[in-house]
Structure 1
Amino acid sequence: MSAALPVADARQVRRYARALMRRHPRALAGAIGLHVFAAVAGLAAPRLIGDLVEAIERGTTTVTVDRIALAIAGFVVVQAVVTRFAHIASARLGERVLAELREDFVDRILAIPLSTVERAGTGDLVTRTSRDVAALSQSVRFAVPETLIALATGAFAVGALLLVNPLLGLPCLIAVPILWFSTRWYLRYAPDGYLRENAAYSDITDGITETVEGSRTTEALRRQDRRRRRSDEDIRRQYAAERYTLRLRTVWWPLTEVAYVAPVVATLVVGGLFYLEGWVTLGEVTAATLYVQVLIDPLDRFLSWLDELQVGGASLARILGVSEVPEDRAASGVRPDGEGLAARDVRYSYVEGRDVLHGVSLAVAPGERLAMVGPSGAGKSTLGRLLAGIHGPRAGSVTVGGAPLVELPLDELRSHVALVTQEHHVFIGTLRENVVLARPSATGEQVRAALAAVDALAWADALPDGLDTVVGAGGHALPPAQAQQLALARLVLADPHTLVLDEATSLIDPRAARNLERSLAAVLEGRTVIAIAHRLFSAHDADRVAVVEDGRITELGSHAELVAAGGSYAALWRSWHGS
């Protein structure tokens, strides 16, 4: 199971929610004011019906009855109109708040150190960006405004009930202990339950993603049963988590239903006794019973949406928790003095106590082309990530111009060193927009030059709309080789002085890759290039070759020197040539 990202605590959630509401004081006050007006308008009818009962009891005329009936109809119409505008105001406020939440979340996601993302895995992050955002959207759009409406309506209904006759408010107290203790019990366990439910869903997503992405490897190694057991275990945990929250609801909801009905019955019974004693009038009993009936709807709405608020609160805690990820670098103010890249006695571990790099030292001169070769799992990619500043070493240091990479601001770091791997992504948008991600201010000529540098201009011009062709999901599909050329074009446009290419041409056929690297060589003249590859023609063309085995550099020198030495590299070279 991957290391999950942090989750914010209840205090942080409340603080953020208050801060978000304070950003829109006028819109919030307007929405609440409209709901209050609608609630007041809706409370006129029970009082008027009570007056009508008393009038009939004393004897009245049809004119009085018609007048009261018209007044009731008028208040109903006013309530309907005001409620419509109140809902519109709440919806607008909700959409605005939701948009800000999403923008804040995107900023938080983009600020997560890449090393943390790799350790956490994709499942938790995907769940937070999809399921949690969707749940929070439901809460912001509906649960929050509906809860405000219910609170306003309920408060005014209680006030109206007490104005009719305080004695008739006493029967309602029968519901207070039922609601108080059952809701406190529910709120004690529900937040943690929903957090476990979301975390379990993250594990399912993570497991499915790994299974799909590694399906060929799983099939080749005949590990289908193991992956199936992992999925079954994830589903069992999800089932147990959902069953737990369902059990909470099956206890809480029936108790709330009893609390709805009991006050109505108690008001009728007790009100009848008070009427017989002459303490209240028949009209007051009628109005009070109707007000208690009116209370059921906002109370039911409040408690129903309270459950949704627990789901939204758990999702907000997970979304806010993203910002609790500690920074993996701290700017010290030290500026690089030169472009030389150096690793000194570097050690690194993905799991505590198990180093994958063991005291690696390497100095790369400005403008040098270094190839790193070695068997799979030897630590080449890990060392490349340290040299690119993606990870910080557990021990030792990696510096550029004497400044530690982990002490450089990210923007400045990327102006010195950039990494391109065999993994790539085509964003939804035009081909031009995809290229200029590396430099938004780039001109059309610069974009075309970058594409030409990686042998991509010919197929780019051949697209239906050229550089303005929409690519990515739902657009023109780019084959893996073209998508990788696109990633390399971004690299050319970014213009760093040091490039780390981790299997960067692995998806392009050998002949095309050879031509591509020749094109890159002309463009990157004078730059430092560290190429990690299994294809040894990269090593043949490099100034020096570093052989990485078992997390150590075992050989270092030029191609000719290492072949003449007859060591590991010479064996690799003979094997690659089939000699």
Structure 2
Amino acid sequence: MTPAHGTLPIADARRTRQELVRRLGAHRGRLAVSLLTLLAGTAVTLATPPVLGGIVDVVADGGGKDRVLVLGVVLVLVAVAGAALAHAGGRMLVVLVQGVLASLREDVFETAVHLPAHTLESSDSSDVVSRVTRDVEAVSDAASDVLPDVTDASFTIGLSLVGLAVLDFRLALAGLVCLPVHVLATRRFLARSHLVYGDVRRLESARGQSVIEAVHGAETIRAYRTQDRHLGELAAHSELAVARQRDGVRLRNRFTGLLNAAEFLGLAAVLVTGFALLGSGAISVGAATAAALYFHRLFGPVGALLGSLDDIQRATAGLSRLVGVTDLGREGGTRDGDDRAGAGHGRTVTADTRHRPAIDVKGVSFSYDGTRHALRDVSLHIPAGTSLALVGASGSGKSTLAHLIAGLGEPDRGEITTKCAKPSRAPSRYLVTQEVHLFGGTLADNLRIARPTATDDELRRALREAGAGWALGPGSGLDTVLGAGGTALDDGSVQHLALARALLADPDLVVLDEATAQSGPQTRTLLRTALERVTRGRTSVIVAHRLEQARDADRILILRRGEVAEQGTHDELLASAGEYAALWQAYTGTGPSSHPHTDPPTDPHTKEQHP
């Protein structure tokens, strides 16, 4: 593996070949049939030059029209049979390879969704996107358009040389004059093209990442008036990518020029040799004609074979990046059993049988880049069935700790353990974040993501328990189409559905990472009720978006720069007059008070109400 900075790993050439052979080897029977069909089609079409040579000899010898007519019919039959076999063989090969590629795409997706969150977050967002779009497209195009042509070209070249040798071995030797030029051109092209195309992929990924970051941070960029600097960075990335693409174009142009020179040398050698052999009576005019036609037929296949190296190199670079993702999953493994976020899907756990695990975090440290710590020596205990609120400034490590507790990643040092009254089965975990995706489809489809076997009645019950009865009102219902082309929902409503999903999943441990952050004034009360319902009767960890969420939790943990600053109950922390007490006083604007009658106003230090 050769990971570049800010990217996921890339498989080396040897590992890529091994994976390709392994996947094609699983379909060796179908592969053999398709290749044999293509070979038969090529063999049939190579009868064309001798037939044309025969027509030339008949005419030169003053033969009858009947003989010419028979040879003409044979020529037509050869063309039809060759085309039919080539089409059938090419179609079988494309279907086979596209099936293998589909399997690879599924494996890449399966691996990506099961990778630890920090693995994906440590790479550029555009790197993941480019692999499942541009790289898959490059491999798919090569499989559909290039592979059949390359296979047919290889067979044509081999059989054409055999045909020349059958006519006269000296003609075949004359044709090989072009071989050194072909070898030189190919070696020069291969020596640099793989590096160039790999660089192009990485530079395009960097350019895409700069666009993604600018779009996501558009408000901040405008606020600080740094548009020119970001445009300059984008221009710099674009110029580097375009410059490297120009290098690729120059390589292709030089390669094509050498191929044309080789074709000229080879054809000239065959014609001169044929003329000499004809003069000595060693071959007939028809045989000399057939030899020239045989070699001329090599122009297309040789050009296709060597010219396709351009597409093959692009596809190989893309395939290496795809295999790099699947190998990353194979090395790290996937989460097993129910000990993972969202593992409660597909089962029902009642409040009487739920494990309600206790969580112990012991000396946990974690870093995304291996140098700067997001968490440092964090220790805490969450008793079974209780709730813990995580409070801290942006970048304090709240979300990182929550994700580790949810099972999305492993700490660099220390350990996170769960203890249950019934240790026979690992407790299920479920994570709800503020970044909730609404999938295209019906309301029922979006809910059954949490539990595919849920009945319609169970879906309605979950919506009502989460306080999302509005989704079942007049003009709505489980069959309502959501997303693009359907009913649009605001962010608060989408988060409401996410909490209903959590109720359907019914996990033992639920982790809520600012799960109500997108709520507006109209949905805030509804989401608060849904949050209380989701955390009731189960162990829960809440990254507090508002301090009243911390007040309502059983215990509170204050994080500062990845370290534990304070922990205790709401009343204990207020009594200690420390950091949390200062936050609460600033948040409420009323001085220390454990239970204000109304929800506190917005935090004066931030418009987004982050404590």
Q: Would the aligned equivalents of 1:348 and 1:355 in 2 still touch at CA under 8 Å?
A: yes
Match of 1:482 among 482, 486, 493: 493
**Count of residues in Structure 1 that have an aligned counterpart in Structure 2:** 570
Q: Residue 428 of structure 1 aligns with which residue?
A: 440
Q: Residue 123 in 1 paired to residue 126 in 2?
A: yes
Q: Residue 171 of structure 2 aligns with which residue?
A: 168
Shift in Å at residue 331 of structure 1?
8.2
* Residue identity matched to 1:374: G
Q: Distance in 2 between matches of 1:448 and 1:134?
A: 41
* Residue identity matched to 1:56: V
What do residues 25-59 of structure 1 show as CA deviations (whole Å, max 9, x unaligned)? 33322322222222122122210121222223333
Q: Residue 88 of structure 1 aligns with which residue?
A: 91
TM-score by length of structure 2 reads 0.87
Q: Residue 588 of structure 2 aligns with which residue?
A: 577
Q: Distance in 1 between matches of 2:71 and 2:284?
A: 19
Q: Secondary structure at the match of 1:344?
A: strand
Q: Residue 393 in 1 paired to residue 396 in 2?
A: no
Q: Distance in 2 between matches of 1:505 and 1:2?
A: 34
What do residues 53-110 of structure 1 show as CA deviations (whole Å, max 9, x unaligned)? 2223333122222222222222223223333333333333343233223223222323
Q: Would the aligned equivalents of 2:493 and 2:523 in 1 still touch at CA under 8 Å?
A: no
Q: Residue 67 of structure 1 aligns with which residue?
A: 70
Q: Would the aligned equivalents of 1:461 and 1:467 in 2 still touch at CA under 8 Å?
A: no
Q: Residue 260 of structure 1 aligns with which residue?
A: 263
Q: Distance in 2 between matches of 1:468 and 1:119?
A: 39
Q: Residue 558 in 1 paired to residue 561 in 2?
A: no
What do residues 185-225 of structure 1 show as CA deviations (whole Å, max 9, x unaligned)? 21122222211111111111111111111111221222223
Q: Distance in 2 between matches of 1:418 and 1:303?
A: 53
Match of 1:346 among 364, 367, 391: 364
Q: Distance in 1 between matches of 2:510 and 2:336?
A: 24
Q: Residue 365 of structure 1 aligns with which residue?
A: 383
Q: Residue 275 in 1 paired to residue 275 in 2?
A: no
Q: Secondary structure at the match of 2:292?
A: helix
Q: Residue 454 in 1 paired to residue 472 in 2?
A: no
Q: Would the aligned equivalents of 2:203 and 2:240 in 1 still touch at CA under 8 Å?
A: yes
Q: Distance in 1 between matches of 2:339 and 2:505?
A: 20
Shift in Å at residue 329 of structure 1?
7.3
> Which is worse superposed, 182-191 or 324-333?
324-333
Q: Would the aligned equivalents of 2:387 and 2:535 in 1 still touch at CA under 8 Å?
A: no
Q: Secondary structure at the match of 1:351?
A: coil
Q: Secondary structure at the match of 1:5?
A: coil
* Residue identity matched to 2:69: D
Q: Would the aligned equivalents of 2:339 and 2:428 in 1 still touch at CA under 8 Å?
A: no
Q: Secondary structure at the match of 1:4?
A: coil
Q: Distance in 1 between matches of 2:238 and 2:194?
A: 21
> Which is worse superposed, 130-139 or 563-572?
563-572
Match of 1:416 among 428, 438, 455: 428
Shift in Å at residue 394 of structure 1?
2.4
Q: Would the aligned equivalents of 2:391 and 2:557 in 1 still touch at CA under 8 Å?
A: yes
* Residue identity matched to 1:71: V
* Residue identity matched to 1:183: T
Q: Residue 540 in 1 paired to residue 543 in 2?
A: no
Change (3 A) 1:523 1:88: closer
Change (3 A) 1:73 1:550: closer
Q: Residue 44 of structure 1 aligns with which residue?
A: 47
1:155-234 map, 5 Å = 155-234=158-237
Q: Would the aligned equivalents of 1:2 and 1:119 in 2 still touch at CA under 8 Å?
A: no
Q: Would the aligned equivalents of 1:135 and 1:315 in 2 still touch at CA under 8 Å?
A: yes
Shift in Å at residue 426 of structure 1?
1.6
Change (3 A) 1:80 1:272: same
> Which is worse superposed, 45-54 or 289-298?
45-54
Q: Distance in 2 between matches of 1:93 and 1:300?
A: 25
Q: Distance in 2 between matches of 1:113 and 1:551?
A: 19
Q: Distance in 2 between matches of 1:111 and 1:541?
A: 33
Change (3 A) 1:36 1:331: closer
Q: Would the aligned equivalents of 2:492 and 2:523 in 1 still touch at CA under 8 Å?
A: no
Change (3 A) 1:233 1:115: same
What do residues 250-271 of structure 1 show as CA deviations (whole Å, max 9, x unaligned)? 2111101111222222211221
Q: Residue 81 of structure 2 aligns with which residue?
A: 78
Q: Which runs of 5+ in 1 are unaligned?
A: none
Q: Distance in 2 between matches of 1:453 and 1:520?
A: 11
Q: Secondary structure at the match of 1:556?
A: strand
Q: Distance in 1 between matches of 2:27 and 2:336?
A: 38
Q: Would the aligned equivalents of 1:34 and 1:86 in 2 still touch at CA under 8 Å?
A: yes
Q: Which runs of 5+ in 2 are unaligned?
A: 341-354, 591-611
Shift in Å at residue 330 of structure 1?
8.8
Q: Secondary structure at the match of 2:518?
A: coil
Match of 1:378 among 373, 377, 396: 396
Shift in Å at residue 358 of structure 1?
2.9
Q: Distance in 1 between matches of 2:79 and 2:372?
A: 73
Q: What's the % identity of the aligned pairs?
A: 34
Q: Residue 607 of structure 2 aligns with which residue?
A: none
1:140-159 map, 5 Å = 140-159=143-162
Q: Residue 20 in 1 paired to residue 41 in 2?
A: no
* Residue identity matched to 2:63: T
Q: Residue 298 of structure 1 aligns with which residue?
A: 301
Change (3 A) 1:44 1:296: same
What do residues 383-413 of structure 1 show as CA deviations (whole Å, max 9, x unaligned)? 222222223222222211189xxxx9xxx87
Q: Secondary structure at the match of 2:478?
A: helix
Change (3 A) 1:378 1:524: closer
Q: Residue 600 of structure 2 aligns with which residue?
A: none
Shift in Å at residue 234 of structure 1?
1.5
Q: Distance in 2 between matches of 1:41 and 1:431?
A: 58
Q: Secondary structure at the match of 1:574?
A: helix
Of Structure 1 and Structure 2, the greater helix share is in 1
Q: Would the aligned equivalents of 1:386 and 1:392 in 2 still touch at CA under 8 Å?
A: yes
Change (3 A) 1:2 1:431: farther
Shift in Å at residue 328 of structure 1?
5.5
* Residue identity matched to 2:118: S
TM-score by length of structure 1 reads 0.92
